Each structure stands twice: as C-alpha cells, then as structure tokens.
Structure 1
Amino acid sequence: MNIAILGKGTVGSGVDQIISEQNTAFTNQLKVVSIFVRPEKVDGSPKLTADYASILNNPDIDLIVEVLGGIEPAHTMIIDALKHGKSVVTANKAVVARHIQEFTKIAAENQVKFYFESSVGGGIPWIINLERALRIDKIDSIHGIFNGTSNFILDQMTKTGAKFDEVLKEAQDLGYAEADPSADIDGYDIENKLCISTDIAYDTIVEPGDHLLKFGIRNITHNDIQYFKEHGWIVKLLGRSFLKNNRYTFVIEPTLYSPGQIEAGVHNNYNYVGLRGDTIGKLSFNGQGAGMLPTAHALVQDILDVYLKNDHLDRKFNQKLELNNETKIMDYIVRTKADLNHYLPDYELKQDGEYWFVKQINTKLIHETVQQIALTGDKPFLACINGGAENDRS
C-alpha cells in the first residue's frame, strides 16, 4: 500500500519512521511515497512536495495520513482526498470533533475509509475498543484523563510542591505544552476528545462550543494542591459524560480522588480513559496519550486496518439526545474570596477560610456560579469531590 503523509512534524515523522524501520510482516506491506510540506520545506528529497494536487491525482497512492492539525486546510484536504477515492487516517482531534459525520458520510459514498484512532488518547487503543464494546453493549458513560499536559502539571505540582507557572514552563520545555497552553489547561483539548468519544458511544453528534461545561486548571495554586493533600485528595482534570433516557451530561472539570482510586494513580503525561457498558461493566485504558511514536503507532494501526480490510463500527450519528447537566448532582469545593452564601443561599455550605464545601448541587449551577464570581475579578477554583460516572443521577 502506497501512502502519502500531510505534514512532516513530530507525528508525521513518526509515521514515516515506523513504516521505514519496523521490519514486520505487516509494516513491510506499507510504503511512504510522498510527504506534503510547505513550499519552503521542499529540499530536493524525492518524497517531499508542496503540490497537493500531485498527491490527489496520483492513482498509485491509496491512503493519506493527515497530521497537519487545526481545522483548515485539514478539513478541505481530507474531503478532497476522500472524494478522490483515497482512504484517510488522522490524529487531528479538532477537525474530527467538528466534522466526523461529514467525513464518515463522504468516505462511505466514495467506498473508502476514514479512521481516527489516534485523535483520542494518542497511543491508547481507545476508539477501537469503544467500538468493540458497542457491538454488544449500550454504553452509558465515558470518563477519563484525556489530556497528558494538564495531568503532568497537576502531577508535578502534587509531587514536588512547585507552583503552577513553574511546572507549566517545564511542560513547555519538554514539548508537552505549546507556547499558548490554552487548549491543554482550559479544557479545549479534552472537549474535542470527549466530543469524539461521545459521538461514537451515543451514536450522536456533540458539537464543541460554549454550551459545553468546561473549567480548567488555569487558576489552580500551590495552596490548593496542599489543601487537597491535607484532606486526603489528589486533583485531576477530568472529562465526563453520562447517558440516561435520551439525556446526557457533558462536563470537564477538576475532580478530587482518594490516593487509592485508579485516577489518582495516573502520573506524568499519561492518559486514562474508560467506559461503562451493560455487560462489560467498567472498562478502562491507561497509557501514553501523546508523543511522536505512540501517536504514530496508532496511526499505523489504522493504516493496517485499511490495508487488511478490517472494517470499523458503522455509526450514523443520528440519535437525537438532550444535553442536560442539571441532572448531575455532586459535592464540590470552591476556592474564592467571595461570600458564597450570597450566590447560593439555598444550598448547604461549609466555609473553611477561602474554601467552601457545597453539598449536592447540580453541575450546571455550580459552573455558572463560579463564572459569575470570575467576572468580579476574582480567580476562583472549583473541584468536584470524588466524581465518577457511577455517582451520576437523573
């Protein structure tokens, strides 16, 4: 099978390396014949080209690997590839989260494949196992640590006592975080990955956007970490969704776990993702959620599935569901200089300095309350206590 790669960055180089160097009976059937790069990157290598049309119009190229990132031009280039009868595999969670239904439909119309295993969880075989579970079970919950950068930051702050800014710089120096870390620390990366996961799990479309509840770790402090440790908790940034009776919850928020719980033991830049099904029960996966070779490994697995004609689960994404975060009742801690009695007069509150314990409140209301407080100039922090899909109510 002849392959073209769109992009020669970290992951694109990893795909090329695995196909070139992993001498197995499977990888030996693959060959990278073209790599699309910006014009200034063309250096005379026979593989490199800035002419995408030459790839589209080459009948010998069977499959395209898209690792450009971002929405455009990736969106247009994927559509063009599918319409030219070429299968596509991608690690681009942003474009998949927004166009999964469109890509899947166009691929089917042109009798090619569109696979995206590495868009969620990097090297973790998450999507394929979610699809396998769905062949038998109805999945009613998805939750996990979907972002390795935020997990690295929280883990290092917990282990070393370092301040947020210090650990963020370390993550940037190690290549875990971008110069603009917003996607990682504000929950947008998790949003894309949780949207893709829920799309598949519930056979619906969950569009990324401001209507989805997100509270990241930008405001966390060294004192917050110490306070949680004193109370026997470890904080993680979780993405979580629960489905019942055509209603689903969707929330991204810091969550507190006891040291013995699985989530608390996910260290460094690792990811942890899980589901719950009718017969399989709770099933979870832990591993490298990013990085050159783990992500490239997942891409090559998708390539091999296309080559070996291993079909993935067919989803129509046509279930009509209602987003309702008011059905999710949990306990929270809010750190704020504000008087929370003013904002939540009808709830049971316990104050400990700047930390407020809020009993049995719905997720939407607590997020909206903290957003109101942030508008006053305060930098509040919230965390769900021992959150998990098993605690969801409706």
Structure 2
Amino acid sequence: MPADLAVIGLGHHGLPLAQAATAAGIDTIGYDTDPRPVAELAAGRSPVDGSLTVPEIRRMLAGGFRPTTNPAELGRVRTAVLCAPTSLGPDRTLDLTAVTDAARALAARLRPHTTVLLESPVPPGTTEGLLREVLESGSGLRAGRDFHLAYSPGRLDPGSRTHDYAGTPKVIGGLTPACTESAAAFYGRLTDKVVRARGPREAETVKLLETNFRHVNIALVNEMAVLCHELGVDLWDVIRCAETKPFGFQAFRPGPGVGGHGVPVDTVGAHRPLRLVELAGQVNERMPQYVVQRAATLLNEHGKSARGARILLLGITYKPDLPDRQGSPADEIARRLMDLGAAVSYHDPHVPDWRVRELPVPRADSLYEAAAHADLTVLLQHHRTYDLQGLSVKAQLLLDTRGATPAGAAHRL
C-alpha cells in the first residue's frame, strides 16, 4: 500500500519525526533493517528508552503508522527521510555505515520525483558527496534532476514540555533551489517555521555548530565548578546572577558528565581539528573521575574510607524525568567507585534494572531508608519526583552534582 512518507531508521532520530508526521495526517511508514524495533512498535511498545511513551506509540498506530522491515515499501513513497544513527569511530570522526546502508536500501527502489532528505548527524559535504553518489549509482537517477535531495539537521529536546516538534524551526539546505523548496513544502506540514540554508553543506554545519556549542559551554561551567570549589565560591549563585545579563550570556550548568545523543565532533575528515572542541571533550570526560574524587574526599573528611563505604547513586539517566541512559556518566562513576571498594546501590524511578560490568547493581526500593543507611548519597540526576529538602534531612552525607538542593542542604559539585 503506497504511503506519503518513509522514515528510515526507527531510533531516537526517526521516531519523533514519524510521530509528528502521523499526527499531521501524513500516511507514514517506518523502515528499519533491524526487526527488533519494528516488532516492538507493531506491539505498541517503544523500542528505545526515553523516546516515545506507550500511549504515543499506540496513537501513531491508530493514526495509520506502519513499521516494516520490507524494503519494497520504500519504492512507494513520495518522501523518504534517512534518520540512521551515527556515532564516533576510533578516529573520532562520525561512522556513516548505517547512513550508507540506509541509502543503498532506498537507492535500489528510488522512483523519479521522490524527495530524499537526510537528518542524521553527518560531516559537512556528506549529502552532496557520499549520499548523492550512493543514491545515483544505485538508482540510475540524477539528484536535482530526477529526484530532490536535501539535508535538515535533527533538532530534538527529549522530554521537553516547551520545545515540541511543531514549535522548533526546521533548517533545510537543498542540492538545488527546487530541492530546497520541495523539502520546505514537506517540513512546512510539520513545523511552524522553515529556515532555508544556502545549501546542504551549510545545513550540515548547523548541526555541527549546535552540538559543539552545547559541549563547549558545558565544559566551561564544568571547569568553573572545579575552580569555584577550590576557591570556596558558590558557582550556582554566580550563574544565577550572571544570567540576569540581558545580552552576551547564556546560562549552562555543570554536572557529573554530559550524556545525550549529540556527540561532539572535533575533527571533520581530513580538515583541521577543532581544538576548542577537543579540549572541551577532555574536560567533560574528566567529570566522572572528579565526582568520584569529591565523593572519596567527603567520606574521608567524615572519618570514612571509600573502601567498604555504602554509596547510593540517585538518578542514573542522562536527562531528568526520562529513562534514556545514552552517554550517562553514571556507569563510569559506578565503575570507579567499585574499583575503590565501595558498595554501590542506586535509585531511579525510571530505571527498574541496571547492570555495570554485566553485574546487577542493587536497586533501592525505599529512597529515604536507603539514603539514611548509605554512608554517602550522590545526586547524579534531578528527577522531578525527588524531594531534595526531605532527602537532605534523611541522608547521612549528600553530594549534589546538579546544584538542585537548597543552599546549605548538601555538598555541591
């Protein structure tokens, strides 16, 4: 059965797009070579943590969304959006294997007049280079003449109540002006504002800039957190005051690490490295070690050793109020504490089971009882359900890595 849209890749990038398109009344199929997410979606369950809820998936299915592993379906759509995952390879450049595989599956069935869009994070030049080459060689069609080709960076804020899909402007850059307008016509059905970039390279570089901007600024406040602790300065009060400046400043806050699905890219192919991004990555990667160092020091100051200490970790996801643990620093922090001989347990209302080094980590059922029993409680993620005032009273010793507790109620990062 023909559809208007094929979303290729049913992960964190593709599912929100499929949801928005189905809600807008666009007949949508979701294609993935992995049968697991397709089976989960068909059963009304979300295949990835922190993405869509079960009711949202069921509304999509009721609205006509069809997940499939049948590549023949790709030859029956007017628009195809590639949302394949990319990650950093050993050389710290983005691995485009999944994007290439998705493009090959589409190319074998690509029809004239189809609009092909890429949303995966990729190095600048990928759309008009690698992607165009794979599509043209596999289909015998010419991009910009026989089919439209454009890039649009994915912009997602999982769990946000203010930045939904429709309210987030969509940047697009087409191979030709006609490609851009075709992409604009499609995204105009989903979002309130479409922003036209000069071309696909500019649109691809938007994603590079946005991701690196986040990581560089988090690295800055993470370094400030270490400095302010040494100086005896309340960094959170500094940030509170600084963000009253109406120009030239945007508030970021420190934490035990970064996490998330947007990976910082400090080198783009054979081009010059981005030294500031490289340094920011090093700063952020040191934060789990710094948290463990602070934990050991606090225990020592209270006459206890990390070896044998009972340490409770609160909130092990990368973002508050979501079950998504992608890139969460909790795993490394737990490993380092275990290496020091600590007995680690955890509490997280969104994560029923957690394994570190293939071993189950004990989960606390009663938060207050566990905090009272632990030698040290470490807040790694501030979920909305946590009563931090009450927790600070119950805990023997509390280290707050998020600056979320009332002033003076805990030791802050």
Is TM-score (shorter-chain normalized) higher than 0.5? no
TM range (shorter): 0.3 to 0.5
Question: TM-score, normalising length from structure 1?
Answer: 0.36
Q: Which structure is higher in RCO with an 8 Å CA cutoff and minimum separation 6?
A: 1
